[in-house]
Structure 1
């Protein structure tokens, strides 16, 4: 189940963390609030900020992203879609709930989110057989999206 947060809520979460709510961190956060559901790389965040005439370096963007996705703050989630480029998105899940999953088209590189979590039985089986308590997981499916399948079929 996902929660909805306003920019003010997310700023408050950052201010309540042990870290300062700097201008640079706020403007990086605003990029994600203004681009909901988009999986952005550090370079893409930097490009968006440059277009807005924000005076922030790429290294500062990287540091802000890493801090915003740290366990202490957890506002962002860091994701690797298998192409060697880390991407980030707002972490809008309730505490103690699983993240959504991603389907990545190997042809057009589109990323589609999938919310339904069907792994509860598997997690219970892992706990029973191995004594390992799963607290979270990330699932990525690679294949062809409907549009690419249709293009290939025609």
Structure 2
């Protein structure tokens, strides 16, 4: 059984509603695809995934929707040193990214010690920490050998 636009629901869709966005069927599909992503897709990849659900979605619609979601603070744009924009939901919670410079693989991680260290650094410099954005680039041990 295939999903209809009305069957689609996701945490990201709820955030869109909270931000007052009119959620067309195609926007619902794009929000769903983003919610289901366990990676950081670019617009072309979002489009490939969205047309599986709704073949009528155009790549232009995906670009427009991503721009609107980003402007409303629903998505964050990431680069990861590739030169192409990739996206993740802003409700993902505090986390960091480790990027393999050989494969481009992106791993998300949480680290309470790092959180505390960044907080301490901000305080020492006279700031209240609002948010952080950390990308670490490296090679796996196997790649160095």
- Structure-1 separation of matches of 2:79 and 2:132: 13
1:150 to 114, 118, 142: 142
Alignment-derived partner of residue 103 in structure 2: 108
- Structure-1 separation of matches of 2:11 and 2:104: 32
Alignment RMSD (CA, Å): 2.4
- Structure-1 separation of matches of 2:134 and 2:67: 21
- Structure-2 separation of matches of 1:61 and 1:144: 33
- Structure-2 separation of matches of 1:52 and 1:8: 15
- Structure-2 separation of matches of 1:91 and 1:150: 33
Deviation per CA, 1:98-123: give whole Å up to 9, x if none.
Answer: x2111111111111111114143343
Distance 1:7 1:69, change over 3 A: farther
- Larger relative helix fraction: 2
- Structure-1 separation of matches of 2:122 and 2:14: 37
SS of corresponding position for 1:69: helix
Alignment-derived partner of residue 44 in structure 2: 43
Summarize the alignment of residues 1-150 of structure 1 with structure 2, pairs less than 5 Å apart. 7-35=9-37, 37-70=38-71, 72-74=72-74, 76-93=75-92, 99-117=94-112, 118-129=114-125, 131-145=126-140, 149-150=141-142
Distance 1:16 1:46, change over 3 A: same
Count of residue pairs the alignment pairs up: 137
